[in-house]
Amino acid sequence: MNSATQSVSFGKTTLAVAGIFFLLCPTSSSAQTVQKFDVGKGERLLILAPHPDDETLGAAGLAQQVFEQGGSVRSVVVTAGDAYVDAIEEATGRHHLKRADFYKYGEQRLEESQKAAQLLGNGALKLNLLGFSDGSIYDMLVSNWWRKYPDKSEYTGFNHVYYKQAEKKGMAQDGQDLRNELVAILRTSKPTLIVFPDVMEDDSDHAALGMFALLAIDEWLEHQKPPRPQPRLLAYLIHWPNWPPGANGVKPVDYSQKPLYLPTNLPLRGHVRACVDLSRQQTLTKREALAQYKTQQNFMAPYLEAFVHSNECFTQLKPADTDGIEKVVKRWQNAKKSFSSHPNTRRRIL
């Protein structure tokens, strides 16, 4: 979920620049056929999440199915979700927040990720906490690509990874380092299934991590000797206007016995929709894993519960869809120059 928040204008901008992506994709279609996604034996699942809880919201059910089929699961949480101003103000009862408040909140969220991972995998889920600053991913993609120009968080003040739970404390906060880290993870984990945010997500960190995922997958596959791996690529969606039902409610609504499909106004882009059906127990375990995110439950329980359904749906891409992704990133970087407002302008999303 969006820890931080985002500007209204960025939502529009995301859609505009994401449209560029269509230029390198097959023709968009209004047909929205949903395919049943089957998990094979011994799959290696890699889940990429911008903030603590996104991995659970997007793919906790899929992760359980992979374990049940004798596979392995690795989850990578890129930021600490430490810039959720409204939530921190509510939690502390103060409006004048200090850098230490943001840092402490990030630590709490990272610990919550560890608890959720423990619950989902009974200790078998490998969790990588990269510990970057909340809100930094888009900037790292479009304006802070090089190590000598790292992105500095306006909340914690860090321009490098500082959290004690992080994999590489001290790593500079720049795009090249993040991409290289993701490529290294791909090389060592050799995933057969890769789950990451949709580039059309209406949130800067989410959309940008979707781009980083495609960049890293392209780089990884390009250097593999034939026959190259053919991982199945699944893009999940968390942030979209007026979706999912119940997300903006006052109280959590139990939709756990009903399926949730991707919004019909999410362009198909020539890809396919794929859904996994969850058992009742898998759905309930997903809810239990989300309950570990106490900071988020305290602030937005209806939002979290809105993702607890009897299925999980994704946009499925092919490895060949990553071809030319560097050109698309260049277009995003250029488009940044025409933005009328900074994407990290914050507001509560609910």
In the complex, minimum distance from the CB of residue 230 to Zn ion, in angstroms, rounded to a whole number: 28
Rounded CA separation 159/132 (Å) = 9
Query: Which residue's CB comes closest to Zn ion?
Result: 51
Q: Does 47 bind Zn ion (CB under 5 A)?
A: no
**Which CB atom, from 67 or from 243, has the smaller least distance to Zn ion?**
243
**How many CA atoms, within 13 angstroms, populate the side-chain half-sphere of residue 244?**
26
**Which CB atom, from 46 or from 268, has the smaller least distance to Zn ion?**
46
Sign of CA dihedral 110, 262, 46, 214: negative
In the complex, minimum distance from the CB of residue 138 to Zn ion, in angstroms, rounded to a whole number: 12
**Which CB atom, from 1 or from 262, has the smaller least distance to Zn ion?**
1
Stretch that binds Zn ion, among 46-54, 155-163, 167-175, 260-268 (CB under 5 A): 46-54
Other beta carbons within 10 Å of 154: 14
Restricted to residues 101-120, the positions that interact with Zn ion (CB under 5 A) are: none
How far CA 195 is from CA of 231, 236, 314, in Å, comes to 10, 7, 9
**Which CB atom, from 233 or from 238, has the smaller least distance to Zn ion?**
238
In the complex, minimum distance from the CB of residue 101 to Zn ion, in angstroms, rounded to a whole number: 20
Q: How many residues does the chain have?
A: 350
* Whether the Cβ atoms of residue 45 and residue 195 lie closer than 8 Å to each other: yes
Stretch that binds Zn ion, among 53-61, 217-225, 267-275, 320-328 (CB under 5 A): 53-61
Please count the residues of this chain forming the interface with Zn ion, following the rule CB under 5 A: 5
Of 10, 21, 54, 153, the one binding Zn ion (CB under 5 A) is: 54
Of 51, 109, 269, 271, the one binding Zn ion (CB under 5 A) is: 51
Q: Does 208 bind Zn ion (CB under 5 A)?
A: no
Q: Does 50 bind Zn ion (CB under 5 A)?
A: yes
Residues that bind Zn ion (CB under 5 A): 1-2, 50-51, 54
